[in-house]
Each structure stands twice: as structure tokens, then as C-alpha cells.
């Protein structure tokens, strides 16, 4: 029985989100994001596009076997895509096949080179085939917001008759305006005769910065599935951001009168994790999860918030899981206290992972007096995510404003220490040149980003880099109270990851 006031959240961070320029996630990163999504309480995880590549197929299959919520596989309306998609999700507890085909004139004429009648026939054939394999079938009319409504209604009626249980009306190019998109949804819902047999979904892109507004307008006009990504990741300007749309529905509950299954207190951690794993930083201004989202700078605001937080806060940081940094552990804390703390933070680590993280904790405690939850989180997540073919042992740098920077870097490789010296344009460039000399080959840097995990002079610096190698971009991360060390860790991590990719 369909609950008419319950919103289904389909998260597509692992599919549309992974199409963010420069983002490429490996299997273990995808699995970790899937776990975060499950903790958040999403109804459907769109795990990928299995026909796109063997790596995508494997990721969808692994996610299907690892989570309890529904898992969707995206497929073009083609037999080969649909059967491949089904093979990837057939072991999921709740499999869903998501078939799509464009319905706008411009897409049909120039991209598909098909007549409307042919598109209609293909849509029905694809849906029928999907339905013969899987009870839960979503059909998306790609570029629906720019499609002829008369044709769209024909397609929708036909695919619902063919067995689609969800029909999606994407604003694929982010062209719609909220009042227009809301009216469009209302028009479809009131005029397609069999539409009540399916859930109506929306999938909005953010090209004009309206993805969240359009999604909310659709919900207000009867859409009951929303498609989102964490931090609004996705093609071009991204998709509808899960945290923003859910906190809008939550904060303005009386206006929307709908329910959802998201545990909002898990939002902040999910946002941070996705940002770290994808290497896409969250803007400080980002609504709900940005560093400034709950910061009150002016005296008048601070005074008001102290007197009553609701003077300037429409939602609390706690409601999205953003808690104060507290000093939790120090140099004298033992393994037991460390393991207890990370467990109470919600991490479930194997004994080996705890051992590794505890080793890093001890090294950090030698340099940093107060270790906060944020530090611990960073430490846990820096867990050896790839085999360390090369590992930094020592480095020495000479640098100044009147001398050329030189670096000597020693890496451990197959039990042997190898050292190389190099010069560079600044200490980090010199260190990277020296590390690349030890390893051999070309590992050019594409992007470099540094941020402090917590405040204070002894804060941990977290460096994220991207390197070009083998036609792809590879991300690397490093963490240390010394920013040059963090930078070398990140570079070597990226090279180790690129090497794993090479051998996959």
C-alpha cells in the first residue's frame, strides 16, 4: 500500500554524483559511501550504470550485496543494458532497474535520431523487459521538463501499463523554474489516467542554482520520490543536494506535510565523508553543511543566539549532527579508551583497522596535546585505503625566499629504503620532484588542497591532491601536524592508488 505522504529518497551520489568532473571513486570508497547512505536512511541507493564499464558493474554488484535498502542500476532502454543491470543487482535485498530514454524533441532528433513513435516503442519494450526481470522498475523520461507534454503523457501512460512502478520527470539540464516545474508536475499527475499506479519522481540539475527549489516545488505538487546527491554533486553544476532539500522539508514541516526516512543527525558526517572521498571540498557558505552554516560573527547575532538560539538559527547544528569539538583523548590514553571512543562515534572497525588507527593516534598524540573527535575521524579515515607500495620514511627540506628549495625524500619500497634529492619551485614542489624521482615515471600534479582539521597552532593539516596518470585522475590524501609531511603523504598516497588502478 503506497503511503501518499511519505517521500522516497533515491540517492544518486554513486551514479550521477560520480559523474562530477574530476571525481573517480574506487570500489572501497563507493562501498563506504553506500554505508553512509544506508546509515542516513535513504530508501534507494542508485549505485551506478553497470553497462558503462566492468568497474561500474562490480561496484553495483558489491553495493547490492552489502546494504539492506533498495539498490538501483541505471540502464539505457536497451536489452543489453537491462540484462547487464539485472545481473549486477539480482542479489540485492530490494533490487530496482532504472531504465531511461530521452523524450524531448531536441534529444530525440539530434542525440537518439529516433522518431517519437520509435521512442515510445523502445520505452515500452525496455520497461517490459525490465519488469520481466525485476518487480521494481523506474522509468525516466530524460529531459522531461523540455519535452512536449502531450507526448510525455503518452509515454508515461504506456510505461505504467508496461509495469513501471516509478516514473521520473527529470529536469536534466536544470532549465526549469520552480513555479513552472510545480505546475508541470501537477498537470502530469492530474492528466495521465493510470499515474496513480506509480510513484512520481523528480530529478533536478542545478545549472541555474534551482535544483533544490524545483524539487521542493515538485513535492508541493505531488511528487513522491526525490532524487538527490550528497553535497549536490553531479554532472556540470550538480544535482539537488540531499542535505538542503531534506532540511527544508524538515524545517518547514507544516508547509510540506510529508514524511521521509532520513536520520538528519547523520547528515553532517555523510557530507564530510563524501567530500573527503571525492576530493570535492564543501564551500564554507554551503547551506546546512558549510563551515559557516551555523557561525554567528556579529555581536548582535551572538547576543541573540545566546539569549535564544532560535533568534538567528532556524535549525540547530545538532539536528544535522554537527557537534562542538571536544577534547577527548591525549597522550596517556590507552588503546582501550581509543577503541571505546571511536566505537561510540559510530565506527565499526576490524581489529587490524583499530591497530592501524591507534598507531597513527599515538604518533599524533606526541605532537598534539588535545585530540578532538574531528582529529579522530580524520585518523580513522586515513586508514591504509590502498596497499602502500611506497611509504614515506624521512624527508629533509631546505627552502627560503632567496634560495632555491631542495628536498631529500626517502621512501620505503619492498623492504628497502630509497632516497632521492631534487630541487623545485618551493618546498612542496621540491619534495614531490624528489618522491617522483624515487618512484620513477611521470606523476604530474593536477590539483592541491590543504585545510586544517581543527583550530589552533598544532592543528592537523589535511592535504588532498589529484595527479594525472594513465589517462585518469587519481586522488590522494595525507594528514599530519606538519603540512609538508601531510603533502608528501598525500602525493605518495595518490601514486599508490594510481598503481592499484593500473593493476585492476
Question: Could you tell me which stretch among 111-119, 165-173, 362-370, 471-479 binds ligand KIV (CB under 6 A)?
Answer: 165-173
Task: Tell me the window of 8-16, 134-142, 145-153, 268-276 that interacts with Zn ion (CB under 5 A).
Answer: 8-16
Of 43, 41, 16, 38, the closest CA to residue 240 belongs to 16
Query: Shortest Cβ distance from residue 112 to ligand KIV (Å)?
Result: 13
CB of 170 to ligand KIV, least distance (A): 3
Stretch that binds Zn ion, among 12-20, 214-222, 277-285, 341-349 (CB under 5 A): 12-20
Strand ranges of the sheet holding 390-398, from the earlier edge strand across to the other edge? 390-398, 405-413, 416-424
Which residue, chain included where needed, has cell 553506500? 34
Q: Are 206 and 240 in contact (CB under 8 A)?
A: yes
If the CB atoms of residues 12 and 433 are measured against Zn ion, the closer one turns out to be 12
Q: Is the dihedral of CA 298, 301, 306, 310 positive or negative?
A: negative
Q: What is the pattern of x (binds ligand KIV, CB under 6 A) and - over residues 123-162?
A: -----------------x-x--------------------
Q: CA 85, 89, 92: angle at the middle one, nearest 5?
A: 165
Burial code of 443-471, b = ≥16 C-beta within 10 A, e = fewer? bebeebeeeebbeeeebbbbbbbbbbbee
Q: Nearest residue by C-beta to Zn ion?
A: 16
Measured CA to CA, the distance from residue 401 to residue 395 in angstroms comes to 20
Residues 6+ positions from 122 with CB-CB distance below 8 Å: 77, 101, 114
Minimum distance from CB of 235 to ligand KIV (Å)? 7
Q: State the nearest-atom distance from the C-beta of 203 to Zn ion, in Å.
A: 6
CB of 260 to ligand KIV, least distance (A): 20
How far apart, in whole angstroms, are the C-alpha atoms of residue 478 and residue 435?
A: 14
d(CA 324, CA 313): 16
For Zn ion, which residue of 11, 16, 142, 374 counts as binding (CB under 5 A)? 16
Contacting residue, 50, 95, 126, 170, with ligand KIV by CB under 6 A: 170
Exactly one of 8, 9, 16, 43 binds ligand KIV (CB under 6 A); which one?
16
For position 229 contacting ligand KIV by CB under 6 A, the verdict is no
Question: Which one, 143 or 377, has the nearer CB to ligand KIV?
Answer: 143
Cell (9 digits) for 58: 562490480
For the bound state, the minimum distance from the C-beta of residue 43 to Zn ion, rounded and expressed in Å, comes to 18
**Helix intervals (H) in 67-169:** 79-89, 105-106, 116-133, 149-161
Site stretch for Zn ion (CB under 5 A), options 16-24, 192-200, 459-467, 477-485: 16-24
The entry of ligand KIV, Zn ion, none near residue 151 (CB within 5 to 8 angstroms by kind) is none
Q: How far apart are CA 94 and CA 85, in angstroms?
A: 14
Report residue 497: phi and psi, to 5°.
-70, -40
Region binding ligand KIV by CB under 6 A among candidate stretches 64-72, 83-91, 167-175, 490-498? 167-175
> Can you say whether residue 73 is alpha, beta or left, with left for phi > 0 and alpha for psi between -120 and 50 degrees?
beta
CA 132 to chain CA mean position, Å = 32
Asked whether the beta carbons of 66 and 31 are under 8 A apart, the reply is yes
- By C-beta, is 72 or 365 nearer to Zn ion? 72
Q: Which does 140 bind (CB under 5 to 8 A by kind): Zn ion, ligand KIV, none?
A: ligand KIV
Size of the site for ligand KIV (CB under 6 A): 9
User: Is the CB of 100 or the CB of 432 nearer to Zn ion?
Assistant: 100
Q: Which does 142 bind (CB under 5 to 8 A by kind): ligand KIV, Zn ion, none?
A: ligand KIV
Residues 480-499 that bind ligand KIV (CB under 6 A): none
Smaller CB separation from Zn ion, 38 or 207: 207
> According to the binding rule CB under 6 A, does residue 203 interact with ligand KIV?
yes
Span interacting with Zn ion, options 15-23, 62-70, 84-92, 251-259, rule CB under 5 A: 15-23
Closest of 193, 282, 279, 191 to residue 244, by C-alpha:
282
Residues 97 and 50 sit within 8 Å (Cβ to Cβ) = no
Interface residue with ligand KIV, options 100, 139, 294, 358 (CB under 6 A): 100
Residues that bind Zn ion (CB under 5 A): 16
Q: Which residues bind ligand KIV (CB under 6 A)?
A: 16, 100, 140, 142, 168, 170, 172, 203, 205
Amino acid at each position: 500500500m503506497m503511503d501518499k505522504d511519505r517521500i522516497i529518497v533515491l540517492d544518486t551520489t554513486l551514479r550521477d554524483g560520480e559523474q562530477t568532473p574530476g571525481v573517480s571513486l574506487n570500489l572501497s570508497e563507493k562501498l563506504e559511501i553506500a554505508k553512509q547512505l544506508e546509515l542516513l536512511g535513504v530508501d534507494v541507493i542508485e549505485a551506478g550504470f553497470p553497462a558503462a564499464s566492468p568497474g561500474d558493474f562490480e561496484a553495483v554488484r558489491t553495493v547490492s550485496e552489502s546494504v539492506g535498502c533498495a539498490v538501483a542500476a541505471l540502464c539505457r532502454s536497451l536489452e543489453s543494458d537491462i540484462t547487464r543491470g539485472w545481473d549486477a543487482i539480482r542479489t540485492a535485498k530490494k533490487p530496482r532497474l532504472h531504465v531511461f530514454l530521452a523524450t524531448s524533441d531536441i534529444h530525440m532528433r539530434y542525440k537518439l535520431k529516433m522518431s517519437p513513435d520509435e521512442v515510445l516503442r523502445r520505452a515500452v519494450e525496455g520497461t517490459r523487459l525490465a519488469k520481466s526481470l525485476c518487480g521494481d522498475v523506474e522509468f525516466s523520461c530524460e529531459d522531461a521538463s523540455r519535452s512536449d507534454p502531450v507526448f510525455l503523457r503518452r509515454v508515461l501512460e504506456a510505461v505504467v501499463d508496461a509495469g513501471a512502478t516509478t516514473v521520473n520527470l527529470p529536469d536534466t539540464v536544470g532549465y526549469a523554474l520552480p513555479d513552472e516545474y510545480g505546475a508541470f508536475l501537477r498537470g502530469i499527475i492530474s492528466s495521465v489516467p493510470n499515474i496513480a499506479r506509480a510513484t512520481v519522481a523528480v530529478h533536478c540539475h542545478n545549472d541555474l542554482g534551482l535544483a533544490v527549489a524545483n524539487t521542493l516545488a515538485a513535492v508541493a505538487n505531488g511528487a513522491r520520490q526525490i532524487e538527490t546527491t550528497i553535497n549536490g554533486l553531479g554532472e556540470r553544476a550538480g544535482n539537488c543536494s540531499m542535505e538542503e532539500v531534506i532540511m527544508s522539508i524538515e524545517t518547514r514541516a507544516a508547509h510540506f506535510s510529508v514524511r521521509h526516512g532520513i536520520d538528519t543527525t547523520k547528515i553532517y558526517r555523510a557530507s564530510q565523508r563524501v567530500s573527503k572521498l571525492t576530493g570535492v571540498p564543501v564551500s564554507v557558505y554551503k547551506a546546512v553543511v558549510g563551515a559557516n552554516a551555523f557561525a554567528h560573527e556579529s555581536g548582535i547575532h551572538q547576543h541573540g543566539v545566546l539569549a535564544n538560539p532560535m533568534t538567528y538559527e532556524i535549525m540547530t547544528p545538532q539536528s544535522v549532527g554537527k557537534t562542538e569539538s571536544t577534547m577527548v583523548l591525549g597522550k596517556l590514553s590507552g588503546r582501550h579508551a581509543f577503541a571505546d571512543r571511536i566505537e561510540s562515534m559510530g565506527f565499526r572497525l576490524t581489529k587490524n583497522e583499530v591497530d592501524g588507527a591507534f598507531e597513527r593516534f599515538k604518533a599524533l598524540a606526541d605532537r598534539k596535546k588535545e585530540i578532538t573527535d574531528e582529529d579522530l575521524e580524520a585518523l580513522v579515515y586515513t586508514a591504509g585505503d590502498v596497499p602502500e607500495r611506497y611509504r614515506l620514511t624521512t624527508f629533509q627540506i631546505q627552502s627560503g625566499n632567496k634560495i632555491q628549495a631542495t628536498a631529500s625524500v626517502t621512501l620505503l619500497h619492498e623492504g628497502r629504503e630509497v632516497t632521492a634529492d631534487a630541487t623545485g619551485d618551493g618546498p612542496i614542489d621540491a619534495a614531490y620532484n624528489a618522491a617522483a624521482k624515487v618512484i620513477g615515471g611521470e606523476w604530474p600534479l593536477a590539483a592541491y588542497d590543504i585545510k586544517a582539521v581543527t583550530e589552533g597552532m598544532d592543528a592537523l593539516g589535511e592535504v588532498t591532491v589529484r595527479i594525472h596518470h594513465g589517462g585518469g585522475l587519481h586522488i590522494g590524501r595525507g594528514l599530519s601536524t606538519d603540512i609538508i609531511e601531510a603533502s608528501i603523504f598525500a602525493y605518495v598516497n595518490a601514486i599508490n592508488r594510481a598503481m592499484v588502478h593500473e593493476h585492476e
